[in-house]
Amino acid sequence: MKVVSTIAEFKEARRRIAGSVGFVPTMGYLHEGHLFLARQAKAENDVSVVSIFVNPTQFGPKEDFARYPRDPERDLALLEKERTDLVLMPPVEGMYPPGISTWVDVEGVTKRLEGAARPGHFRGVATVVAKLFNIVEPTRAYFGQKDAQQVVVIQKMVTDLNMNLEVMVVPTQREPDGLAMSSRNVYLNPEERQAAVVLWKSMNLAQGLWQKGERDAEKIRNEMVALIKKEPLAHIDYVSIADPLTLDELSQIKGSALISMAVYVGKTRLIDNMTLGN
């Protein structure tokens, strides 16, 4: 495994690659969800690449950039076990040199859900991912379904800008009790960790209602909200039932629907989602 810390060095290494490249962009503090993506990239391509970069431009002024968990030595040891070929770990000044004034804005699908709750977040995400795509030049890029809106944004950016790669979406990896794997789970104390399962329970409730024939999105949403509110440590940011492509809120579920949510458990903001009728 080769670890590269400058963009120029990575581009030199990239020029020597002849086959397909599978790429997994991460912000580090890797968990099994990231490693599953790394395995997919390794299995389906000649060369696998993982980037580790905590992107400052996707954090709001009151968000947790400074305290976002970091452990690069542990991350590299984990990727070594997965036989990752190349790891890109650029410094902030390498990705955002002084005087940078070019940004990628994906309109429409970024205005709702996470975009409404975190203004500017997806501009930062789209910009850094576009830059990483330009640096890595992947054949395939791998993303987890857990960040469902991010997946929609990246897919639209790739389509709209005619980027020459395939976006591969991998199912959410979960703990045995259903909690979606996330780097932010480390913030939860034992009581909060137990309470966090309410997100998974609420989605299972929604799925059960849908399977029984309920198609009124507001009724399903109300049942989910009522269940989450029974957990005293949980505080809802949003619960959405939307079109999976446009992210427009639905009143009636006629085809498939994306259930997504952001819920604070203690001071930790968790997101999760599930697709009905996929």
Q: Report the catalytic residues.
A: 34
DSSP secondary structure letters along 164-202: SSEEEEEPPPB-TTSPBP-GGGGG--HHHHHHTTHHHHH
> Residue 155 has which token pair?
């897919």
Pair of tokens at residue 62 = 């009151």
SS3 call for 257: strand
Candidates 260, 180, 255; CA nearest to 210 is 255
3-state secondary structure of 47: strand
Euclidean distance between CA atoms 252 and 277, whole angstroms: 13
The alpha helices in the chain, defined as continuous H runs, are 7-15, 32-44, 72-81, 92-95, 114-117, 121-136, 148-160, 190-195, 198-211, 217-229
